[in-house]
């Protein structure tokens, strides 16, 4: 066998079919794979951090007309005939993945231009903002690239199919992608990720930013890539999703730490109209003593007719700095909506146009140009950031989805993919059609970091891509419809986003659109438009006046309590707590209870946030993460782990009311919950203990969803907090759930600066030894400015007496009889 070259870190094979294959282990469980028509080259990547590669020594052996590569924990068998590879665990010799064929076909990549003609612009007002459609664009060949197809040969064993997960967030609510198809393109309610996770213990990350499709059906099993210079992907072995995701973050970048207040309650709606109204919302929450950390300004801060301008309307926001200061004095923060597209004639648009920094829709700035990104930040800083807004809501970051955002009937999946995908390719490089939001987030993050290190970046964005976590981009699922079916699918989409390796994901609590047929009640300034919209199909025309919607909202908020960001938002009907009644009334009380629960759990949640940054952890966890060997648990898609300790079982069916205030008679107020095997579980509300491996009927009245705590858990909590940094009564509660050994590490830092990157944070380890009924508190490691040295703690062991101690940072042992 002659046609291969080996150096100490890689092997390159010239295949019999004339293609090239390069294999390069970059960590002990990660292999970089390049399949190309020409000799493989180093192509620029928008998502991979190659400077962090840990090159591994390899050995290559010829074996029966094939090559065997051994490196780290992996063994690879390479077929030089076609470049296909089989990946094995080197220790057990278990095959993890067998590749099918790989295909590359040459294409002409087109560029769209008006040439010497003046653009003919059709300016259209849509529900999703004002859009430019250029009527006289024509195609011009720009360069050549390839379409790629990567074929799978699934490893089904003993009658159990290999499960395939990930691919980001879509709309259909598909949990396991076996026997399904999916279209990977950016759209409102669609955030693709070029990542697959297999329950056989591996993941695949494709370094591809073009449009893609996944197919597992009668036409075969493959991933299609619309335009690539070569096929480049990474095989990541891991016996758990955590191990695979650790590899994904190694490749795409460590997550940035969000401000601590981002984990509190965020109140938003479409829309507030003045700076004073934002202040008044915070003031009312403080008067009601309902916790709150952030209020959000949706679109329309600009002057009339100047869509997308980052200069505020002085008639409504002339007092912005004063009102923002008042919000800060109430220990709260504000977020503002910004858009990548602008109307002609505004100062921001004119500046971009004159600098040549607009894409050829003559509306959207070119986020792929670092100078354009710097100009965008300069404009956002001048009145919004300097005016007191501390965080960003980057809306419509898939700016070319307009052709599909209208009409009565929802188009076929392939039709939507083609329509929206082609619109993106008119204005973006074909190889980067999925990457606009990523580059936009990069500009916000890098330029704010250059401006100040004292305020952490937080970017709530409707679209994103792999590696966006390093730019502090919190993805949200888009403009969803208020229905029980949507609530069910949103849980599944969140699970797959987590299995795609992305740690920051949230949604609009209550669904964005509540109205269906009664168009007169529409928000978004659309109550004069009677035309049906396929996406404006809420089940609750009267919004909060419909008890059916109030019940749905409560259940959605209860689920949202256990997401990385806890945020209420939507149009058509208001969302603040006082719109659902008053204290002593059931909907109000249920909402208040769960907002307060979020703050009780904040020490646990912020410690998870530290795990995300320090150890590449995941907050919203499919049961695959922790119970992959329990075949029943791993197939559950309507429950999830919040961290490694809390099992959350959302209620996704009405129990009290249907739409139009229809009372449900004789409905059981319970929910069946499967408790995974291998551990015991405690009912969070009652303390009752259950053995795992069984289904229990859990009480689920309006003010409760089933939540269970894994035995051996050590969970820090605090009572009485009104905001994330509220010292409350000072007591830190440590809740211990006996039954097995357990550990937890409390993470603390300054909360809103970047000193943590320089080591300014503190870790305190709690270890429960069940047999000896002893809690060991380790020596606190690290410190940060204004850290409390002496911490009063209540140690609450379930079924035993509560102990009170003062922790000084020195190691302690506390025993119970």
Task: Quick: pLDDT tens for 375-393.
Answer: 999 999 999 999 999 999 9
Distances (CA, A) of 598 to 38, 240, 344, 540, 717: 55, 28, 44, 27, 10
DSSP for 182-195, written as a single string: EEE--BTTBEEEEE
Nearest Cα to 479, choosing from 652, 731, 268, 719?
268
Catalytic residue among 12, 383, 398, 748: 398
What pLDDT is recorded for position 508?
Answer: 98
The radius of gyration of the chain from alpha carbons, rounded to an integer in Å, stands at: 27
Which residues are paired to 231 by β-bridges? 35
pLDDT band of residue 122 (cuts 50, 70, 90) is: confident
Q: Residues, the chain, total?
A: 817
Q: What are phi and psi of 287, to 5 degrees?
A: -65, -40
Whole-angstrom Cα distance, residue 21 to residue 83?
6
H/E element holding 100? strand 95-113
Nearest Cα to 792, choosing from 727, 722, 715, 712?
727
Q: What is the mean pLDDT of residues 518-537?
A: 93
Is residue 89 classed as helix, strand or coil in its secondary structure?
A: strand
H/E element holding 372? helix 370-380
Whole-angstrom Cα distance, residue 150 to residue 84?
10
Nearest Cα to 359, choosing from 223, 349, 592?
349
Is residue 489 classed as helix, strand or coil in its secondary structure?
A: helix
Nearest Cα to 460, choosing from 487, 486, 441, 482?
441
First to last CA, the chain: 71
Note the pLDDT tens digit of each residue in 469-482.
999 999 999 999 99
298 is a catalytic site residue: no
pLDDT band of residue 531 (cuts 50, 70, 90) is: very high
Residues above pLDDT 90, as percent of the chain: 94
What pLDDT is recorded for position 129?
Answer: 73
Whole-angstrom Cα distance, residue 32 to residue 14?
17
The two structure tokens encoding residue 467: 């590696």
Q: 169-183, 526-540, 588-602: which has the minimum mean pLDDT?
A: 526-540
pLDDT band of residue 491 (cuts 50, 70, 90) is: very high
Sign of the CA dihedral running 565, 571, 575, 580: negative
369 is a catalytic site residue: no
H/E element holding 717? strand 714-717
The answer to whether the beta carbons of residues 52 and 65 sit under 8 Å apart is no
Distances (CA, A) of 71 to 23, 49, 365, 627, 696: 11, 21, 45, 29, 46
pLDDT band of residue 130 (cuts 50, 70, 90) is: confident
Q: What DSSP designation does 754 have? A: S
Q: What is the mean pLDDT of residues 134-152?
A: 95
Q: What is the mean pLDDT of residues 347-369?
A: 96
The two structure tokens encoding residue 570: 């939507």
Whole-angstrom Cα distance, residue 413 to residue 183?
8
Mean of pLDDT over the chain: 96
Which residues are paired to 663 by β-bridges? 657
Note the pLDDT tens digit of each residue in 415-455.
999 999 999 999 999 999 999 999 999 999 999 999 999 99
3-state secondary structure 455-480: CCCCEEECCCCCCHHHHCEEEECCCC
Whole-angstrom Cα distance, residue 16 to residue 58?
23
What pLDDT is recorded for position 222?
Answer: 98
Judge whether residue 1 has pLDDT over 60: no
Q: 30-39, 333-342, 723-732, 735-744: which has the minimum mean pLDDT?
A: 723-732
Please work out, in degrees rounded to the nearest 5, the angle formed at the alpha carbon of residue 168 by the alpha carbons of 165 and 173.
70
Which pTM value belongs to this model? Answer: 0.97
**DSSP 3-state percent helix, strand, coil across the chain (nearest 5):** 25, 30, 45
Any residues with CB less than 8 A from the CB of 95 and at least 6 apart, and which? 86, 87, 88, 155
What pLDDT is recorded for position 74?
Answer: 97
What pLDDT is recorded for position 133?
Answer: 87
Q: What is the mean pLDDT of residues 519-533?
A: 92
Distances (CA, A) of 176 to 54, 305, 485, 635: 32, 46, 18, 8
Please work out, in degrees rounded to the nearest 5, the angle formed at the alpha carbon of residue 302 by the alpha carbons of 299 and 304.
105
What pLDDT is recorded for position 714?
Answer: 98
For residue 52, how many C-alpha atoms fall within 13 Å in the half-sphere facing its CB?
12
CB neighbours (10 Å) of residue 661? 13
pLDDT band of residue 79 (cuts 50, 70, 90) is: very high
What pLDDT is recorded for position 116?
Answer: 87
The answer to whether the beta carbons of residues 34 and 231 sit under 8 Å apart is yes
Catalytic residue among 207, 361, 395, 680: 395
The two structure tokens encoding residue 294: 């952030």
The answer to whether the beta carbons of residues 505 and 498 sit under 8 Å apart is yes
Note the pLDDT tens digit of each residue in 240-286.
999 999 999 999 999 999 999 999 999 999 999 999 999 999 999 99
Q: What is the mean pLDDT of residues 128-133?
A: 79
Q: Write b or e for each residue in 148-173: b if 16 or more Cβ atoms lie within 10 A of its Cβ, otherwise e.
A: bbbebebbeeeeeebbbbbbbbbbee
The two structure tokens encoding residue 330: 């109430």
Whole-angstrom Cα distance, residue 166 to residue 273?
39
For residue 810, how many C-alpha atoms fall within 13 Å in the half-sphere facing its CB?
3
What pLDDT is recorded for position 2?
Answer: 63
Whole-angstrom Cα distance, residue 33 to residue 233?
5
Q: Write b or e for each residue in 777-787: b if 16 or more Cβ atoms lie within 10 A of its Cβ, otherwise e.
A: bbebeeebeeb
Nearest Cα to 551, choosing from 484, 485, 489?
484
395 is a catalytic site residue: yes
Catalytic residue among 479, 508, 748, 749: 479
Whole-angstrom Cα distance, residue 715 to residue 617?
17
Chain centre to alpha carbon of residue 418: 25
Residue 276, preceding bond cis, omega within 30 degrees?
A: no
The answer to whether the beta carbons of residues 173 and 204 sit under 8 Å apart is no
CB neighbours (10 Å) of residue 687? 11
Nearest Cα to 124, choosing from 423, 421, 350?
423
DSSP E strand boundaries for 170-230 = 181-184, 191-198, 202-206, 212-217, 220-228
């Amino acid at each position: 066998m002659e046609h291969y070259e080996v150096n100490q870190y890689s092997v390159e094979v010239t295949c019999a079919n004339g293609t090239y294959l390069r294999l390069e282990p970059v960590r002990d469980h990660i292999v970089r794979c390049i399949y190309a028509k020409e000799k493989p080259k180093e192509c620029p990547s928008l998502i991979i951090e190659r400077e962090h590669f840990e090159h591994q020594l390899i050995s290559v052996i010829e074996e029966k007309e094939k090559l065997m590569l051994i490196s780290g924990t992996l063994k690879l068998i390479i077929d030089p005939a076609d470049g296909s590879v089989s990946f094995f665990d080197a220790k057990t010799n278990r095959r993890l993945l067998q590749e099918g064929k790989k295909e590359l076909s040459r294409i002409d990549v087109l560029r769209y231009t008006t040439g010497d003609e003046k653009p003919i612009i059709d300016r259209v007002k849509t529900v999703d903002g004002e859009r430019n459609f250029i009527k006289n664009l024509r195609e011009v060949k720009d360069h050549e690239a390839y379409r790629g197809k990567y074929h799978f040969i699934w490893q089904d064993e003993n009658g159990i199919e290999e499960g395939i997960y990930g691919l980001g967030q879509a709309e259909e609510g598909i949990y396991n992608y076996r026997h399904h198809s999916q279209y990977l393109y950016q759209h409102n309610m669609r955030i693709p990720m070029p990542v697959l996770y297999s329950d056989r213990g591996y993941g695949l990350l494709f370094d591809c930013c073009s449009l893609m499709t996944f197919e597992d059906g009668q036409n075969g099993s493959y991933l299609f890539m619309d335009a690539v210079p070569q096929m480049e992907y990474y095989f990541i072995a891991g016996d758990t999703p955590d191990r695979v995701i650790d590899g994904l973050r190694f490749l795409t970048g460590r997550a940035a730490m969000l401000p601590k207040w981002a984990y509190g309650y965020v109140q938003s709606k479409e829309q507030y109209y003045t700076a004073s109204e934002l202040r008044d919302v915070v003031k009312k929450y403080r008067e009601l003593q309902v916790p709150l950390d952030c209020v959000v300004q949706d679109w329309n801060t600009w002057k009339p007719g100047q869509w997308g301008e980052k200069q505020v309307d002085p008639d409504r926001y002339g007092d912005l700095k004063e009102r923002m200061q008042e919000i800060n004095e109430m220990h709260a923060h504000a977020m503002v909506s910004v858009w990548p597209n602008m109307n002609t004639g505004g100062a921001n648009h004119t500046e971009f146009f004159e600098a040549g920094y607009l894409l050829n829709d003559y509306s959207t700035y070119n986020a792929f140009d670092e100078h354009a990104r710097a100009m965008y930040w300069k404009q956002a800083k001048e009145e919004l950031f300097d005016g007191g807004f501390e965080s960003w809501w980057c809306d419509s970051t898939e700016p070319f989805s307009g052709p599909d955002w209208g009409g009565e009937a929802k188009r076929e999946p392939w039709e939507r993919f083609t329509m929206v995908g082609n619109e993106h390719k008119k204005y973006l490089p074909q190889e980067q059609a999925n990457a606009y939001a990523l580059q936009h987030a990069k500009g916000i993050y890098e330029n704010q970091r250059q401006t100040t290190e004292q305020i952490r970046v937080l970017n709530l964005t409707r679209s994103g891509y792999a590696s966006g976590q390093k730019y502090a981009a919190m993805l949200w699922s888009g403009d969803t419809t208020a229905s029980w079916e949507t609530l069910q699918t949103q849980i599944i989409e969140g699970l797959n986003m987590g299995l795609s390796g992305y740690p920051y994901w949230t949604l609009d609590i209550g669904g964005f659109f509540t109205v269906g047929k009664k168009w007169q009640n529409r928000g978004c300034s659309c109550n004069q438009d009677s035309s049906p919209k396929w996406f404006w199909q809420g089940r609750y025309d009267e919004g909060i006046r419909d008890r059916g919607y109030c019940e749905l909202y409560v259940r959605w908020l209860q689920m949202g309590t256990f997401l990385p960001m806890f945020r209420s938002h939507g149009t058509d009907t208001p969302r603040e707590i006082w719109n659902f009644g008053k204290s002593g009334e059931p909907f109000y009380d249920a909402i208040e209870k769960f907002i307060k629960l979020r703050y009780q759990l904040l020490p646990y949640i912020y410690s998870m946030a530290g795990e995300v940054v320090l150890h590449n952890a995941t907050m919203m966890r499919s049961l695959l993460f922790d119970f992959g060997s329990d075949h029943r648990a791993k197939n559950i898609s309507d429950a999830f782990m919040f961290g490694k300790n809390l099992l959350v079982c959302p209620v996704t069916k009405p129990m009290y009311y249907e739409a139009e205030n229809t009372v449900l008679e004789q409905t059981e107020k319970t929910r069946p919950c499967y408790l995974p095997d291998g551990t015991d579980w405690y009912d969070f509300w009652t303390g009752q203990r259950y053995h795992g491996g069984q289904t229990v009927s859990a009480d689920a009245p309006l003010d409760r969803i089933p939540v269970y705590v894994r035995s051996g858990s050590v969970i820090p909590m605090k009572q009485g907090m009104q905001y994330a940094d509220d010292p409350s009564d000072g007591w830190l509660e440590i809740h211990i759930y006996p039954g097995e050994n357990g550990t937890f590490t409390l993470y603390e830092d300054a909360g809103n600066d970047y000193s943590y990157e320089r080591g300014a944070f503190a870790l305190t380890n709690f270890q429960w030894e069940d047999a000896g009924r002893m809690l060991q508190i380790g020596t606190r490691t690290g410190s940060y400015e204004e850290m409390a040295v002496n911490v009063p703690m209540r140690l609450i062991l379930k079924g035993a007496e509560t102990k009170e101690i003062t922790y000084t940072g020195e190691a302690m042992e506390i025993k119970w009889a």
